[in-house]
Structure 1
Amino acid sequence: MKLQMLFVLLFSGITSLFAQNTGTITGKITDKTTGEPLPFVSVVVKENGTVAAADVATDAGDFTIKNLPLKDYTVEFSFMGYTTKVVSARLTEGNKNAQLGTIALSEAANEIEEVEIVKELTTVEQKIDRKVINVGRDLTTAGATASEIMNNIPSVNVDQNGNISLRGNQNVRVLVDGRPTNIDPATLLKQIPSTSIKKIELITNPSAKYNPEGMSGIINIVLHKNANDGFNGSFNSGITFGEVPKFNNSLDANYRTGKVNFFGNVGSNFGKYFNGGTVSRYDVGSTNLIDVVNDNQGILAKVGMDFYINDNNTVSVYTNQNYGDGTATIKNDIFYPAGSTFENIFQESNLDGDNFNNSYNLAFKHKFAKEGHTLDFEGNYNDSKNTQFVDYETATGATAPTYYTDDVVDKRQNATANLDYVNPLSEKSTLELGAEARLIRSDNDYNTTRPLPNPALQSSVYSYDMDIYSAYATFGQKFEKISYQLGARFESYKAQANFNRGQSTFK
């Protein structure tokens, strides 16, 4: 049993006082003919074709895009009934405030009698400890899965293997609806349809409320949940074209009557992905040719119910059911120049994997008389099973190829219970207290037919159990130009591991 005490001191400056390496783009949008301000015009800032930020103009036609890295941008202005206009903006150390002045938009040639403006662009909110990306249709059409749209979010990157990084660091924790899952992040992101995502939270300065996993930050994916009165529903479908098309679909619905709200969301995605590359080594003169073909499909369903006991107390229950299936063919050939002491190597591997992830959640929320004064209890159980079967064919030089297989079964269970109390002491200060218990159980069974000197080493069983109990306290305060947050977290944990291979056992 080990006792750890974490003290976290977080200072966040949201204005230019602390944003020494960022800049701002401002301006005003008007009608070219009348000179009148145009409200609610879409303003999209792009860097090399990738969306860096987006917002809409105010009622007076003004816009301000803050916290932009010092780079060259194009700014796109679009409004229904008007011709889209694109201008350039440069932010440098000597010019951190690019004032674009008045942007005059011309009416399009086609006249329409009436327009209903619906805000569906992606917007970004900057908070004391996180950046919130409200996912719009412009972002969901960028890809069929969460993995693909992540590459269109500033400071987030997903490589060809699906590994995600935040601000260049892969030590990042991925949550779904604020809760951890047992699925590997790379696999999880490929299974979530982009149309099922409501918003994405980038928590780059986690407070003491969060356990210290993911030192570079936390990415929280919030799925759609409707709570409007009566019956409501929406269906989204998308297709992304590359070498082959990729499809994603989602259905979001709810029925609220009296004190009960039933809600559900189901989404799917499927498609093929092609990757290839060449690696040249000048020291030995070799050329490595890599060709990868992935065929993946994923289904995600969320079903639940809210029971409103009264205006101040709500009980909620829901489940997330996630299934993914994928195959991959990987060819890896290494060629050496004539006369080399090395022989050419040819390898092909075929992978078939299945992922099942089930999550069950029970929550109770109490609202006190004061706005924002809340007490929350939440219990969550997550169970997953991942299987992977790979067969390998390897040939060296002119020798006959060798064949072997790897078979891996990974099972994990994760149970958590947490209590969170939030008290806004004033309009500018907030106190948060909480406690959490986490129980983690995992088992891994590995078997291979790879030729080994000792056949007993061709199989292994690994189990890992961990119990974590924690408590935290945070205090945050806002001033006119700066904000800060102080926090302390206490953790007690117990871990036990067992590894069996052949006739050896390690604990």
Structure 2
Amino acid sequence: MKLLVTLILILITVPYSFAQNGQINGIIHENQTTALPYVTVTLKGNTEPPVAVGISDNKGHFKLENIPVGHYTISYHLIGFQTVTQSVQVKPNESTNIGTVILEPDTKLLQEVSVKAQRSSVSLKIDKKVFEVGKDVLSQSGAVTDLLNIVPSVSVSPSGTISLRGNSSVLVLIDGRRTGLTQSNALEQLPADQVERVEVITNPSSRFDAAGSAGIINIILKKNKKAGFSGQIRLVGGIPNETRISPSLNYKSNKVNLFATYGIRLSDYVGLYTMQQSTGLSGTPVYLNQRQDEDRHDDARLLYLGADFQINDHNTITAAFLRNSTNDHDKTQLNYLYSGKNGGIDSSLSRTGESWEKRSYNQLEFNYTKTFRKPGKKLTVDMQYDFWDSDKVWNLSTAKKLPVTMNLPMIRTSSFGKSKDLMIKTDMVQPIDSTSTLEFGLKMEDRRVNSDFIAQQENSAGWEVIDQIDNHLLYKEMIGSAYIQFSGKTGAFGYQGGLRGELTNIGIEDRTGSYTNQKNYNKLFPTLNISYRFNTSANLQASYSKRINRPRLGMLYPFNELTDLSTRYVGNPDLNPSYANVFELAFLKNWKTLTLNPSLYYQRNNGVIEDYTFRDVKGLFITMPVNIDKETRTGFELSVLYNPFKWLQANAELNVFHYKEQGSYQNQNFDYSGNTFTTRVSSQVKLKSKLSFQAVYNFRGANATAQTGSDAVHGIDFGGSKTFMKDKATLTLDVSNLFGLRRFSNRTIGSDYEINQTSIPNAARYRLTLVYRFNQKDNQSVRQAKSGNRD
């Protein structure tokens, strides 16, 4: 094949070989620092055939020789990237240097003329797996959380918890930055069709924060590249109620890019939770049957506006403001039936709860970017200031039903929290030569969180504090970090090594002195990635990284809500971070209609965080996170993408792993080992009439720990879409949790008790979405909120 290509190139260029009047040379990159080989370079004049054709080498270099004097058009083409075309002039006896040409990934690669629809694809880079978002039905109709549920290796629980390979210790970024939008289901505010690609980084380089022992999910949003006014409006209606209105506008000129987005979301959720609890099994048993019906209503508003200012060709400033506010109103009804060993009902209780919560998340963003004459050299300075507050009130009414009817005292709880988070960082990219790059940077983050919580019970004189639950907590965190990283290529080999150091200072204070503590930990986090490219369609990669999993705020708060009479979750202010060493070997092979991506991985976590359940002196079951000794995971993952026809795309994914936990806490032994797996299968059919259908099936196998076991979970999502009005409008109908199959069952077993629970947090949801675009193609987007600090 190479000989045939060479002969063709010789035949094409023979008629021009005698002029020897000049030459053209340059370098082709796929980004600012990575050379791109095997690119076809075509030089054309006013007539056919081409004047000359060449191919870039392993370092991205190309050269066209013996070119007659004149004006030409030169183009650069490689499958998977957008073709770039530019004008060039050849002068007598001179070498014309094009400089560095950047080819962008082609998001229209699989767009067929008869189908006019884009497909998602997966590629393997030196330090990450990249999921290019196509116009899949389910990735266009819903929110970012819906999109993540079809990304290989990623899953999202109904409560909004994001996991990578079944591990929830994952760091979620937007455009490479921490985001407060991942807290409290705020990603529900971001439409999925605003996402350009999702980077799954199981072994992140030292450029990224060391947080997230499972890895990093980096959500890259689309950028507006079209001059003038553009935008879109999105309308959503659903059952149960889901109403969304989201207009977005963008204005772009040579020097200024203005962007604004406003979103309204009104959503209702219906949940059902049941529990069977058995206690006193070694003596006189008591049985509890419990049912909880829940109605949740969310009212959310999002505003994001800002501007990019291009001072000159090498200096750009970005400033933006984000506000995301919510008003939630929840109602819950709990019924308790108690019985003895004879099976008859001895007593019953009912509790009605109603809560109101207001949250406001705000963010100021500033970025300065400086490029240099040397291609790939870049300096960035980022500053972000996040500030939020939350105010929540619960009113609880309890009544005895059997053996007598009696109203019990009212209970109310009130919690208020606020946070201020300042982040400043700077990064430098310094190319050494055409194949190697040095990167280094500094970062500082200061965070202060205040939280008040009080629980009161009504009495004849008014209200009294319950169980001394009245406290104020101040959490202060300072993180300073620095990194250095070197990457390069030698022939088919690519390599990237780095070291990151993080210094952390944490202070916890409370009014009563019960939780006051000071913690400092300073650690080094090395990373190494090595890849070998067999050819343009096959790549092998080995990687290692050391990571840290810092506890989330919800894990640290000792305050708890009193909604349930029988169980309660509390945080642990004494919780420490866990550390992970992660090794991985991955292979990617692309054929014309098939892509295979198998990988092996091993992860060892020290000080792993695990939930511990115990029964207190009042008979209440308490669950709290604790540190145990260690956990190891050894797994195999396989992703398959199959495109047998232009109109059909099928995806399959399998993740199988063995896990082993060791450690103890108080009198509880946590030693346990087991095997489990997850799988996902999806298919999409695209018809000539711009009508598409997609179905996704998810299955998570049963798994267990020393205390708790969870049954298998499965579910189906389905959707169809139609594009019309010359691609200006798209109408989508989708169903989440079709047939209501997705339900969660688990059991907790102790020395003298057993608890079985079933949860259906969300019923089947039907949603109709209309998107109308103006001065914008259906694969483009206006600027969206992209960044934030820690969750």
With structure 2 as the length reference, what TM-score do the two structures score? Answer: 0.46
Match of 2:293 among 291, 294, 305: 291
- Matched residue type, 1:366: K
Inter-CA distance 183–264: structure 2 relative to 1 (3 Å threshold): closer
- Matched residue type, 1:348: T
Q: CA deviation at 1:397?
A: 5.3
Paired with 2:258 and 2:376, the residues of 1 have a C-alpha distance of 25
Q: CA deviation at 1:267?
A: 2.8
Match of 1:165 among 144, 163, 166: 163
Task: Please list the CA deviations of residues 139-188 of structure 1 after superposition, one character each: whole Å capped at 9, or x if unmatched.
Answer: 56665433333323332222232222222112122333433344662432
Per the alignment, in what secondary structure is the counterpart of residue 398 of structure 2?
A: strand
Q: CA deviation at 1:322?
A: 1.2
**Most deviating of 205-214 and 434-443:** 205-214
1:260-279 equivalences in 2 (<5 Å)? 260-279=256-275
1:279-428 equivalences in 2 (<5 Å)? 279-281=275-277, 286-337=288-339, 339=342, 343-395=347-399, 398=402, 399-428=406-435
Paired with 2:349 and 2:213, the residues of 1 have a C-alpha distance of 39
Match of 1:226 among 217, 224, 227: 224
- Matched residue type, 1:368: F
Unaligned runs of 5+ in 1: 1-38, 41-54, 60-78, 83-116
Inter-CA distance 215–253: structure 2 relative to 1 (3 Å threshold): same
Paired with 2:140 and 2:194, the residues of 1 have a C-alpha distance of 14
Residue 506 of structure 1 corresponds to 516
Inter-CA distance 440–400: structure 2 relative to 1 (3 Å threshold): same
Residue 88 of structure 1 corresponds to none
Per the alignment, in what secondary structure is the counterpart of residue 304 of structure 1?
A: strand
- Matched residue type, 1:506: T
Q: Residue 178 of structure 1 contacts residue 220 of structure 1 at CA under 8 Å; is this kept in 2?
A: yes
Inter-CA distance 271–181: structure 2 relative to 1 (3 Å threshold): same
**Most deviating of 395-404 and 447-456:** 447-456
- Matched residue type, 1:377: V
Inter-CA distance 226–266: structure 2 relative to 1 (3 Å threshold): farther
Paired with 1:462 and 1:261, the residues of 2 have a C-alpha distance of 42
1:7-26 equivalences in 2 (<5 Å)? none
Residue 154 of structure 1 corresponds to 152
**Most deviating of 469-478 and 272-281:** 272-281
- Matched residue type, 2:143: T
- Matched residue type, 2:204: P
Q: CA deviation at 1:382?
A: 0.7
Paired with 1:154 and 1:402, the residues of 2 have a C-alpha distance of 51
Inter-CA distance 457–419: structure 2 relative to 1 (3 Å threshold): same
Task: Please list the CA deviations of residues 347-380 of structure 1 after superposition, one character each: whole Å capped at 9, or x if unmatched.
Answer: 3322221221111111111112233221111111
Per the alignment, in what secondary structure is the counterpart of residue 323 of structure 2?
A: strand
Q: Residue 405 of structure 1 contacts residue 449 of structure 1 at CA under 8 Å; is this kept in 2?
A: yes
**Over alpha carbons, which structure has the higher Rg?**
2
Paired with 2:253 and 2:468, the residues of 1 have a C-alpha distance of 61
Paired with 1:475 and 1:163, the residues of 2 have a C-alpha distance of 34
Q: Residue 172 of structure 2 contacts residue 182 of structure 2 at CA under 8 Å; is this kept in 1?
A: no
- Matched residue type, 1:221: I
Inter-CA distance 56–319: structure 2 relative to 1 (3 Å threshold): closer
Q: Residue 306 of structure 2 contacts residue 319 of structure 2 at CA under 8 Å; is this kept in 1?
A: yes
Paired with 1:163 and 1:342, the residues of 2 have a C-alpha distance of 39
Q: Residue 145 of structure 1 contacts residue 269 of structure 1 at CA under 8 Å; is this kept in 2?
A: no
Inter-CA distance 231–192: structure 2 relative to 1 (3 Å threshold): closer
Q: Residue 171 of structure 2 contacts residue 212 of structure 2 at CA under 8 Å; is this kept in 1?
A: yes
Paired with 1:442 and 1:183, the residues of 2 have a C-alpha distance of 17
Paired with 1:371 and 1:342, the residues of 2 have a C-alpha distance of 79
Paired with 1:274 and 1:480, the residues of 2 have a C-alpha distance of 57
Q: CA deviation at 1:231?
A: 1.8
Q: CA deviation at 1:395?
A: 3.9
Q: CA deviation at 1:419?
A: 0.7
Count of residues paired in the alignment: 399
- Matched residue type, 1:414: D
Q: CA deviation at 1:191?
A: 3.5
Inter-CA distance 456–273: structure 2 relative to 1 (3 Å threshold): closer
Q: CA deviation at 1:454?
A: 6.4
Unaligned runs of 5+ in 2: 1-78, 81-106, 518-791
Q: Residue 456 of structure 2 contacts residue 464 of structure 2 at CA under 8 Å; is this kept in 1?
A: no
Match of 1:461 among 441, 462, 472: 472
- Matched residue type, 2:272: G
Paired with 1:400 and 1:179, the residues of 2 have a C-alpha distance of 51
**Most deviating of 306-315 and 398-407:** 398-407
Match of 2:234 among 225, 231, 236: 236
Inter-CA distance 325–426: structure 2 relative to 1 (3 Å threshold): farther
Inter-CA distance 202–342: structure 2 relative to 1 (3 Å threshold): farther
- Matched residue type, 2:207: K
Q: CA deviation at 1:445?
A: 1.2
Q: CA deviation at 1:268?
A: 3.1
Q: Are 1:488 and 2:499 matched, yes or no? A: yes
Q: CA deviation at 1:57?
A: 6.5
With structure 1 as the length reference, what TM-score do the two structures score? Answer: 0.69
Q: CA deviation at 1:504?
A: 6.4
Residue 244 of structure 2 corresponds to 248
- Matched residue type, 2:477: M
1:125-136 equivalences in 2 (<5 Å)? 125-136=123-134
Per the alignment, in what secondary structure is the counterpart of residue 407 of structure 2?
A: coil
Paired with 1:481 and 1:327, the residues of 2 have a C-alpha distance of 58
- Matched residue type, 1:331: Q
Paired with 1:183 and 1:342, the residues of 2 have a C-alpha distance of 47
Paired with 2:231 and 2:180, the residues of 1 have a C-alpha distance of 30
Paired with 1:129 and 1:182, the residues of 2 have a C-alpha distance of 25
Per the alignment, in what secondary structure is the counterpart of residue 487 of structure 1?
A: strand
Inter-CA distance 498–173: structure 2 relative to 1 (3 Å threshold): same
Per the alignment, in what secondary structure is the counterpart of residue 212 of structure 2?
A: coil
Inter-CA distance 388–395: structure 2 relative to 1 (3 Å threshold): same
Q: Are 1:189 and 2:187 matched, yes or no? A: yes
Inter-CA distance 246–499: structure 2 relative to 1 (3 Å threshold): same
Q: Are 1:257 and 2:264 matched, yes or no? A: no
Q: CA deviation at 1:416?
A: 0.8
